Amino acid sequence: MKKHIPNIITCCNLICGCIATYCAFYGGFQYAFLFVLLGAFFDFFDGMVARALGVSGKMGVELDSLADCVTFGVAPSAMLFSLFSKVAYPEWMATEFFFSVMPFTAFLVAAFSALRLAKFNIDERQHTGFIGMPTPANAIFWGALLASSEEWLTSPRFNAFFLFLFMVLFCWLLVCEVPMFAFKSLSWKTDKVKFIFLGLSVVILAAGAIAGASAEGVWIGLIRGVAGCIGLYVFMSILASYLSKKD
């Protein structure tokens, strides 16, 4: 029985991704974000449980990638698809063609997430860190951004063209050759950047909660802080990679 426990946890991740996709279309971005977070929770523990029980295997690896593709690829694509249907369009894009086509470009995120996961499975360099943005970080970023800032994203201050460019940037981050740090080890001697990131993340989350308490609410402020933490993670990873190359 114990050999099935990690796979059950992985399937819980996949189910969360399916529910998040449904919520993106019908239930709202906040519910979709919650199920992406829950999926990430299961994704974090399935490999850990497999190693603890000594039942790691090829099937678990493949199932994990399939589940991740749904939760961290299809679900954020569904969220972006829904946002493209609500976002403002600049005058030069206000035609039936763009109204019909642009929402479907959201599924580029699912395609690039699948490429990222396939690349990760065969890349021997990614045992201690990542090359390119991890799919959970990408999905959590989009989920947090849409769940906390839908009103601003659908206002005249933002539009479909900016959303498309922003989305393409994150598709590139998924498959780029930029090293990004992982939390598979924590040692002050070798991982100072990780501790700095964790400290700054606490500050960002606290600032988000305080700002939210006087505006939309603490919960919304915290979610916005999560998006900020993911942005900080990408920035610090790129900066650390650049500085290491200079040395």
pLDDT averaged over the chain? 89
The predicted pLDDT at position 246 comes to: 64
Is 183 a residue whose pLDDT tops 90? no
Is 153 a residue whose pLDDT tops 80? yes
Interval 64-68 mean pLDDT:
92
Sequential DSSP letters for 176-206? SS-EE--SS---TTT-HHHHHHHHHHHHHHH
* Distance, CA of 86 to CA of 29 (rounded, Å): 12
CATH 1.20.120.1760 range(s) for the chain read: 2-180
The predicted pLDDT at position 243 comes to: 75
The predicted pLDDT at position 241 comes to: 79
Answer yes or no: CATH 1.20.120.1760 is held by domain 2-180. Answer: yes
The predicted pLDDT at position 134 comes to: 94
The predicted pLDDT at position 174 comes to: 96
Distances (CA, A) of 146 to 7, 31, 34: 30, 11, 12
What is the percent of the chain where pLDDT is above 70? 92
Q: Which two tokens stand for residue 42?
A: 């299961």
52 — pLDDT class (breaks 50, 70, 90): confident
58 — pLDDT class (breaks 50, 70, 90): confident
The predicted pLDDT at position 186 comes to: 66
Is 25 a residue whose pLDDT tops 90? yes
The DSSP bridge partners found for residue 131 are 179
* Distance, CA of 69 to CA of 63 (rounded, Å): 10
